[in-house]
Amino acid sequence: MATRLKEVDAVMVGMGWTGSIMARELTKAGLNVVGLERGPDIKPAEDFAMPHIRDELRYVQRLEIIQDPAMETLSFRHRPSEQALPMRRMGSFLPGNGVGGAANHWGGQHWRYLPSDHQTRSNILNRYGAKALPEDMTVQDWAMTYDELEPYYDRFEKLCGVSGKAGNLRGQKVDGGNPFEGARQNDYPTPPVKMTESALMYAKACKELGYHPFPQPASTISQPYTNTEGLALGGCQYCGHCERAGCEANAKAGPHICVLPVLRADPKFELRVHSWVSRLTYDKAAKKVTGVVYTDTRTGEEYEQPAGMVVLSAYVFGNIGLLLHSGIGEPYDPATQKGAVGRNYCYQLSRIGLTMFFKDKNFNPFMGSPGSMMVIDDFDGDNFDHTGLGFFGGCRIQTGHGEGRPIAYRPTPPGTPRWGSAWKKAAVDNYQHALSIGMSGSNYANRNNYVDLDPTYKDQLGRPLLRLTYNFVENDYKLAEYCMSKVVEIAKVMNPTVMGSPRLRKGDYDIVPYQSTHNTGGTIMGTDPKTSVVNRYLQSWDASNLFIMGASTFPQQPAYNPTGPVGALAYWAADAIVSKYLKNPGPLVHA
Amino acid sequence: MADERILRREFLKGAAIAGTAAATAIAPATEAAAQSAPPKPQAPPAASADSDAMVTLSPAEQAFFTAAADTIIPADDLSPSGSDCGVVTFIDRQLASAWGGGAKMYRSGPFRKPPGEGFGYQLALTPREFFAAGITATNAWLKKTRGKEFDRLSLKERDEVLKVMDQGKAELQNFDGKQFMEALLDITMEGFFSDPIYGGNKNKVSWRMIGYPGLPATYANMMDLYRNKLYKPEPQSIADFS
């Protein structure tokens, strides 16, 4: 029997970016907030310290700070007719573990989505006509426009100290920035990070072709910065250990350095770690949640925490799972296309690109950050005319260095054997000289890509695993092929000593090699409760005191990394709760 | 063979120094005792980080991994052989670690054969058990087809065998030879390229070889200073900062 605890004003389920931001905004408004975190507490000064944080085997290969699939994973199949099998090891994507969540090990690429990304469906219909949209492409509009969200994008950027260069300041195009971005009220809080030689070579070739290279906006920031919470961030050391590891220089924005020090000192906030929420308690008739039930993973004890308001701030899969485990909303069925929970699961088209070799260049591939890249957006989103192309969406295309860790990074030219003296010689001869053009493609919703509960496999709490049904579709393959033709064109201008072969998308989705931790959808936002789970304030249609954060609310995934809009939406929802909901609790939008 | 030994001595010159430092860190009390009096003959062997004693591998498994590591990373003018670089010690310790025992794996049944590609590892075996079964199956296959176990084959023959396995053409009984080859290649490369604290990459030999500087990796000033210029300092590992 669960021990019933004293009611609190609000509970956060998960203490990554969105739980931390929401807890901060709600405590500021006077609420008593409990933050429940399944994993351990993490303290950067101890856990991300030198020299151990530079351990590639521990962090990159053995996934030290990544979610443990033995606790919870998901099952996977490509299509509804297939038998789903559990993802027994983490691979394709890497959710975080512990306080800070995936923000502990992200690379810090910090974007705003394009204005047209916020209106994907109506944009396609308006520009290309109603017949242009494939029947199985279930893209939807966001429930707010770019312009409405702009002040919140701005606010999150100032929390992180994002480095970058504006390309569109209040409607004025600025040379050297991204000319395709939506109008910004303010430039980035800090100037762009240092670029690698490879990034500059790429930018030069792009310019020659008439494209518009600009520096990657980065939350691995270029110089010391004091953020909007009065907290100090350091400058990037270009160590090349960003992804899958924490930052020892306090230069990579994350809840630990950007929000939590203030929250931890606030008597209105209580952090409970090792607290795994198994379900929400739900009053279906009243359309309200009454709290959460969680297990202390150190003791196995179960607790019921009543709360006036619940915020789902877990990773995408955690949010979807808690709705399904708690019987909130109707699970999506691809056969009838009824039900909203689990629909429009999307991912990211990545692991595509082209590697080249330049005999006379020394790239020092171990120096840099995921921000040390130049990017073009000329073939991103709807920045180019899709008439007659047979697909929608696009790729951002970029080049840089900064991940030269030698277990994973050993580029060799095509035709090199995989072992032996010839391999070794090629690995030695090419380590300094390889350059890759990378692509990150949008992934638009399809009626057969969704998440529900698995009938066979269970997690450590005995709950059914989530079952992911997902595959790439024609749109994705065509998109990758088209954008690759542009990459080849740029590569030719760069004129390498040895040209590699394009890495393209072939065959079924493979859940093993790492692609990106940009899973989206499943609890999407919208204007119609039949096809969405939350309204424009990220408030559940089925429980007015339940708010759902994060990328699980995206109706589809543009070509960019999701953290920028994830943070912006948290501020947007917090603002609506504080300025509207708390004064008059109840549905903020009437369907 | 004689040439290999000379190579080994040259490459590992610095290793003895690093080894001493590591042993000191493990047992300061023992070290103090060792300084006051020579070790007594009946004292148990010191658990040195530099020791080649196996934690979990059987002699047959050790022989297999030695032969495999020396085929994947042969001794040549770029480095000593994989085993001389500590790769077998690395594999032994990894397989004895929590990872080798199946940590961070979802291990609930039922275990089913995947209906196609893209589902990842679906066996009930831990990495420790997987390698044990893979070695047994490989040796049984080779005994049948070549009359000898893997470690008895010449370097050239071992290289051919690995190629057959890599092409998915090895007919192992109840085991996927291609999957085994992938795992073998992965763990060997991990051993060769990881930080030396895990027992492989002795004396940072692979880092020096490709020009990876290791730690401390604070490059804020180097980014411009070494733009398109080779930055190749003497590499440093975690032990150098501990």
Pairwise CA distance, residues B30 & B38, whole Å = 11
What average pLDDT does range A362-380 have in this prediction? 98
B133 in a structural domain: yes
* pLDDT at res. A591: 80
Mutation site for A-interface testing, chosen from B219, B231, B241 by largest number of A Cβ within 10 Å: B219
Give the DSSP H or E segment for A301: none
**ipTM score:** 0.96
DSSP β-ladder status, A288-296 and A275-283 = antiparallel
Q: Confirm if A399 and A199 have CB atoms less than 8 A apart.
A: yes
* pLDDT at res. B50: 56
Interchain contact, A428 vs B78, CB within 8 Å: yes
* pLDDT at res. B4: 45
B45 in a structural domain: no
Q: Which of A238, A364, A407 is facing B193, going by the closest CB pair?
A: A407
B220 in a structural domain: no
* pLDDT at res. B49: 52
Pairwise CA distance, residues B109 & A504, whole Å = 34
DSSP β-ladder status, A373-376 and A214-215 = antiparallel
A506: pLDDT confidence band, cut at 50, 70 and 90?
confident
Pairwise CA distance, residues A212 & A176, whole Å = 8
Buried b (16+ CB within 10 A) or exposed e, A12-41: bbbbbbbbbbbbbbbbebebbbbbbbbbeb
Residue B13 has pLDDT above 70, yes or no: no
- The candidate with the shortest Cα–Cα distance to B91, out of B48, B52, B124, is B52
B52: pLDDT confidence band, cut at 50, 70 and 90?
confident
Buried b (16+ CB within 10 A) or exposed e, A408-419: bbbbbbeeeeeb
Q: Name the E strands within A377-501.
A: 395-400, 434-441, 450-458, 464-469, 498-499
How many helices (H) and strands (E) chain A has is answered by: 12, 22
Q: What is the mean pLDDT of chain B?
A: 86
Collapsing DSSP to helix, strand or coil, A293 comes out as strand
Tokens encoding A18: 């969105």
Q: Which of B71, B194, B210 is facing A428, going by the closest CB pair?
A: B210
A256 a catalytic residue: no
B19: pLDDT confidence band, cut at 50, 70 and 90?
very low
Give pLDDT tens digits for A245-265.
999 999 999 999 999 999 999
Give the DSSP H or E segment for B130: helix B127-146
Give pLDDT tens digits for A403-431.
899 999 999 999 999 999 999 999 999 99
Percent of chain A surpassing pLDDT 70:
100
Q: Confirm if A5 and A304 have CB atoms less than 8 A apart.
A: yes
Q: Confirm if B122 and B114 have CB atoms less than 8 A apart.
A: yes
B152 in a structural domain: yes
What average pLDDT does range A33-62 have in this prediction? 97
Give pLDDT tens digits for B118-172.
999 999 999 999 999 999 999 999 999 999 999 999 999 999 999 999 999 999 9
Determine which one of A241, A325, A518, A590 is catalytic. Answer: A518
Q: A72 to chain B: nearest residue by CA?
A: B106
Collapsing DSSP to helix, strand or coil, A50 comes out as coil
End-to-end CA gap in chain A = 38
B238 in a structural domain: no
Alpha helix ranges (H) inside A286-384: 316-326
B24: pLDDT confidence band, cut at 50, 70 and 90?
very low
Interchain contact, B219 vs A240, CB within 8 Å: yes
Name chain A contacts of B209, Cβ cutoff 8 Å. Answer: 424, 428
B27 in a structural domain: no
Q: B118 to chain A: nearest residue by CA?
A: A510
Q: What is the mean pLDDT of chain A?
A: 97
- The candidate with the shortest Cα–Cα distance to A180, out of A7, A352, A330, A375, is A375
Pairwise CA distance, residues A467 & A276, whole Å = 20
Q: Confirm if A251 and A220 have CB atoms less than 8 A apart.
A: yes
Q: Using alpha carbons only, what angle is made at residue A436 by residues B213 and B226, rounded to the nearest 5 degrees? A: 40
What average pLDDT does range A55-78 have in this prediction? 98
CB of A85 within 8 Å of any CB in chain B? yes
Interchain contact, A407 vs B190, CB within 8 Å: yes
Interchain contact, A407 vs B118, CB within 8 Å: no
Residue A376 has pLDDT above 90, yes or no: yes
Residue B90 has pLDDT above 90, yes or no: yes
Tokens encoding A327: 């019987």
Give pLDDT tens digits for A512-542.
999 999 999 999 999 999 999 999 999 999 9
Mutation site for B-interface testing, chosen from A88, A198, A241, A416 by largest number of B Cβ within 10 Å: A88
B51: pLDDT confidence band, cut at 50, 70 and 90?
low
Which residue range(s) make up the domain with B159?
59-106+121-210
Q: Which residue has the tokens 């759902």?
A: A548
Task: Give the distance from residue B80's alpha carbon to the nearest chain A alpha carbon, in angstroms.
Answer: 11
What average pLDDT does range A383-402 have in this prediction? 97
Residue B11 has pLDDT above 90, yes or no: no
* pLDDT at res. A1: 82
Name chain B contacts of A367, Cβ cutoff 8 Å. Answer: 219, 222-223, 226, 231
DSSP β-ladder status, A8-13 and A302-312 = parallel
Residue A2 has pLDDT above 90, yes or no: yes
If one counts the domains in chain B, the total is 1
Interchain contact, B210 vs A427, CB within 8 Å: yes
Pairwise CA distance, residues A304 & B15, whole Å = 57
Pairwise CA distance, residues A502 & A492, whole Å = 12
pTM of the model: 0.94
B13 in a structural domain: no
B184 in a structural domain: yes
Residue B171 has a CB neighbour count (10 Å cut-off) of: 11
DSSP state of B81: -
What average pLDDT does range A204-231 have in this prediction? 98
Pairwise CA distance, residues B70 & A452, whole Å = 48
Q: Which of B78, B207, B224 is facing A424, going by the closest CB pair?
A: B78
Q: Name the E strands within A319-422.
A: 349-357, 373-376, 395-400
Give pLDDT tens digits for B191-226.
999 999 999 999 999 999 999 999 999 999 999 999
Pairwise CA distance, residues A568 & A156, whole Å = 6
